[in-house]
Structure 1
């Protein structure tokens, strides 16, 4: 009871300054939508948590602006489930990428049409079925629509013809039927899409004729890939209007009639594939197609004379096999009527430098470092490659280098294997992408890379375009065991990297003294530089501080799920060769203690100190209330609060904390941990651990922000010194001027200082006083104020007014603006039986009017 009441004080303090912890910065509709989607999905990233705020706690794959979700990108995350109607509530969404989640399926909801700000819709490589909803035509801002490699059936909705900004339209590899929709007086059609550069309709069951109305001189079309359908009738002459065409693939259909003569006017063509149709007549002159790299007309029924000079380009050969004209004696022995296959082996990235190295399990050998790792891997398919020699190392090395350059990876970190030509005459290859360091990619890095590839941000070399990529649903387990190899018991840490001990040795200068930046009870902390230039802090456990293997695993699995902007982020870990190491993000401005003492180039004014208190309190509140299970820090102090480049607070060292369940709260600890001066006396005396232990320590830090003094300094206890100095009648400095940090004496005064000190003292309430209150309360019926349900700021009960100073509205007012703009919060916590402070404020530029109403409840 006492623990909860004391902690509520700190939570209520957060409410007066920000609603972010209690209600989140995410728009309530967006938060509800995401949590509804989450309820339908399995294998969501570990950062997704029903009790946390998506925008405030950095859910993987979520990007926000002003509290609204604008990007939802989770490609290749092995998500299982369906996409429900809640997706339509994310009305500010501009990018939706759920591609390469093969077990994500079901019908595509009609509510997708509500996302009218959407520019990218990437759902390829999933298992969606049913018809494509006509409401998709409402997405007028779409530039990329990728629905390929699913199980969609029915016809192509004519409403797609309304997507006039579309650049990429990919409906390939489904079970779509019927003709291509062409506009009429009452309905739109594909012929309206004059800005679209890519029509990818291959590998469906589309039928009917290819309408002459589809083409016009206004078209921007460069890739027309219609192969492997059941189109019939002639190739329309109007195809010659599409003067920007580079790829025309009509093979494996039922097309008949003559090849249009005006194809010869498509001088930008690189690929012309008409194979496996029912064409007749002669081959027209193609003399103007000087850029042509691949020509295929085999098995089409062509007869008559072959135009002179057709095969002037060396690479255009073997294209007329199984045509009647090849039966003539004058042609039968020519190369273009013979099927010639090279016997050279297909290309594969060389592993010669790795000699006899090999990997076990699902790990793969990184060609760059010859170490074992878990790459991002998948099948890359090139539907209109401009060559057919899959042994050509120069070409595949070009795509390797383009991948690592554009993905910002290390040279030679791409491995290509199993290159083949499919029955559809596509070229496909398995591509493995290896991390810069560590054994696997973090979840955020994997999302970043897959988004670049899936959304055509990666630009392949011209001879390979267009491509698509289907990610293999590989698990990315962390190495675990003394040898660094996966033994099947790896913790679930997709959000962090598993580092080898050798990697961390090198990046820390072999744990040199020059790189040592701190030391604590757990061990030493070193600054490290990863191979990609990222700076990290490496905490190396001393021999006497190491946990058992299972305990260390459990801790890492939990910490990988803890994400908050006011907590130092865990980047990875290492557990091998008898070592336990945690790798954290590096925080550039050091500890709060260092900055209070005086760090070169850093000045902490009163407003910044208030913001630091707020940030640290938010991080601590997250650990206590939103982490699952909750975490008690046990060592809150100014050296465990770090300041980043913006001097925002981040709580550190919670990785060495105590995880608690409801049944463990208040249990007797076998070992008291903490730092003298910050340590809760009740915890020290009773050894009963609770969140109040952290709240007490935080109260000490708050007084340290005012005085800049250590808790125990020159034999004086700073908390007692503050309590003794307090003068209720000193309206300006509350009696603390002589012990305040001189740097803020002229800034921190009046109401804002008084309320800050009062809140700190609430956190420091003596154990005896709290126990007396707990004994009295049950016998004072009606004395305790009953909770109300606040809906606006003016109804929100809070214990103290912080940040507001009626004598300095010009200074403090702007900091309050976000608070005053917050609306419709529902504060879920019961109010403590101390003071209820009702605040209603009207913020007017240049002034601030405050009304206060104090109610004594005990």
Structure 2
């Protein structure tokens, strides 16, 4: 819609351009008087106003807002000064004042009759203030010289006085946007024969027909009568207004047909007749070739769009929506050279679109939904890459999308739903790099294709339901509010990283082929109102985090393979719709769900309390029976443990005798290098003395050994002496050496170098590069033992997390076969002189495994607080054990807490999960030493990543590649980068 205030602006601008200061001499006394008058205005309205900054020098004709002619003040222009105090009478003591502009202030009095004394005024602009009350009946007491009167956008009420017609020289009268609720004197206004601009729009006048008297205003070029309760038809007398360039009668109650003469006004450029009750067809003979904008929308027009519209070569805007037009869109419309915006929706148009549409014009907006159009979209629809809206839903379009859409990078809204489109959806429209798409609604077609790994950041609404899209679900991030993909062929698991769409309100992935668990991170979707995952193959437990989604009202998880109990935290929800039917859920239904309002059928393992109001479920068994079963199982377990302990004591005695014999028969040392070395095994052995001991771990003692070189210098190495590995049999010895050799070949910036392996039958020594700043554990939890800086700030901690993730990512994804660390902890993350992190003790658990199953868990089972729960019940482990342990490290970095500070009953991972369940993401979770309002959001996001990594089910944990991607995103975006930069940097950092 155009800005009708432009006429006011135009006239004001004309006025300002004409106000050129002059320095011709004049009466000294008059100059002194005017100087004092102006200083009085400054004192009255307040010295702080911006315009008064320059009102200090002696030459007042050079002051801001003051214009002089022949040395006397002829104009005052002080808009946008927030004046509140009334206009003082002293203003009119400026005897030669002809122009006054006080628009856009805060005057709130009645009409200022003090201006009656300004006898020479020709221009008065009081618009955009807060003036109230009725216009005075004697308003004609203003200067008879008045040519411009602008009172628009105030709060005047009542009727417009008849005296408004007593300004014989008036050329523009602007009274729009007030509260006039009486009548306006049409007869008197019609006497203003020189009037060129008349605006009465947006006033609640008493309903009346458009005045035929206005036909006398033959000088009018601008007539704005919108939203002022006009009834009846357009009077024939207005055909005399042959100079009109703007005619706007919108938002009234007019009826009848649009007169033929309107289409023959030679100077007419803007025609706005929308939002009335006009009927009949549009004239077929259009000769008003100057037309630039036509808006006839929201009427009851019938017939066809005139072919003559193709002659309007200046036309930029054509709005005919919300009518009853039928037939074809004339092909000539497609040839208009300046057309930018065409809206024809909600009609009965049929046939194909003009084939030349968009090829010859700068078309940016194209809206034709809710018609009977058919055929394919024109090939050149986005040929010059300027189109930003394509809205064609609810038609019968078919075929593939035009190739020109593949490069339509300015496209913001794409609404193609409810048509018959086919073929693969253009991949470039999903482009993260160049795409500006915000809304994509293409549901109910027959599109196919796959998604990129990541969708564009600026997507806010995406609906692809009822198509044939396949492949994995893309990672969603940014502004996404609605994502609907029901009834497609999507497969794989739901992306575990949901932190990027925490503002989403509606998520529908129903009727696809999705597998795996519901991500534990679902709880970050605090704004989610509706979730539908029904009709998939989703397994695992229902996350307890659902219980903390306070605005969730619709939840449908039916027809999946979910198992376990319904979390008791569901009692906190206020659901309008809940469907958990057709799953494998067990246990007692939470109390608030025991109602017929919810669908929990076809879950044979569910039961209810005896007082439940639903009768289709059995009553739960007594808890006493369950307790007795548990007690019997515990007695059996303790009996087995006692037997194992007795057997261990016998075997231990035998092994002790064997070790005593071996001590009497030492073997020579052998050094196996993995890098170029400047030392021998003797240099290493001689350094294993008590004064060089720096610590002990689960696998052995660690020494710091200084190695001198031939040049007189030297360097430090770290030597790990492995516990209790003597007289291994030949097969185990070979396995040990083979594993050490594999680890020695690993080369990565973020993995501590294994320099060599020194051994004999009695001892096994692993020699590593030395890390000057020790372990992360010391800097986080043993600060009293190290010198300043005693605290790692957040940027350093985030960089340490990224470095460590890079090392682990390479071990998991860059090595073949993959190397599982099995003992990731802050004590095994070492820091060099610049606090860059490297993974230590990598693969040590593996080379300490006994012969037999290569992936079975040995005595080297990790460190308490870092061990995942599957260590207690699985015989085989994979990379997800490292992901769990790394998640604990992330929790240490963000909270400052130790991994096992709660003892055997309560690890840091359990504490973090419980805190998140009970309190959500709170700054109170974070280490006080790194809390910062600018960084807290990122730190909490990393904390949440740690919670996700420590999920109970290994399959629910992300891979280290995914973890690294998220950490890089936090780091790069915090430095002003982009997601694309993060992705490219991740790819580079995965290399050795």
Measured against the shorter chain, the TM-score band is 0.3 to 0.5
Q: Specify which structure has the bigger relative contact order, considering alpha-carbon pairs within 8 angstroms and separated by 6 or more residues.
A: 1
TM-score by length of 2: 0.29
TM-score by length of 1: 0.33
